[in-house]
Amino acid sequence: TGTLADPIVIPSLPFGDYRDTRTAGPSTIDRYTSCSQANESGPELFYKLTVTQPTNLRIMVMSRGTSDIDVHLLDTPPDGAHCMARNDKTIVTTVQPGTYYLSLDSYVNSAGTVLSGQYLLVVIADP
């Protein structure tokens, strides 16, 4: 369902997924304090990725229209204090064997407008 209790499982790489935070997803994490002070209090969807060897990841999110969906790479436990990386478009990083979470969260601008909407998530293993 895309919640923390039931994240969308990334079964293998490469992986792609198209969703809309206006129609799915709770608003569980408002700030990812170890990555940013940005207001991410809009709805988000969670993904779970398990890797069995060191992996070079390229995680890309493309927001559609006026939406602004940011991608966050989270360690365990998956919360704002365990954010490993954040970007509004692309994260390139190397992870060790283990389980990681992605949060695709709707940004809230300075006027208080929640910029939720459609996005495409692509996760690949770079050589």
Confidence (pLDDT) at 68: 97
- pLDDT value at residue 16: 98
- The per-residue pLDDT for 57 is 98
Give CA–CA dist 119/83, Å, rounded.
20
The confidence score (pLDDT) of residue 101 equals 98
Q: How many residues does the chain have?
A: 127
pLDDT at 31: 96
What integer pLDDT is reported at residue 24 of this predicted model? 86
The pLDDT of residue 127: 85
The mean pLDDT values, 10 residues at a time, for the chain of 127 residues are 95 98 92 95 97 98 96 95 97 98 97 97 95
Residue with tokens 């389980």: 99
Pair 54, 94: CB distance under 8 Å: yes
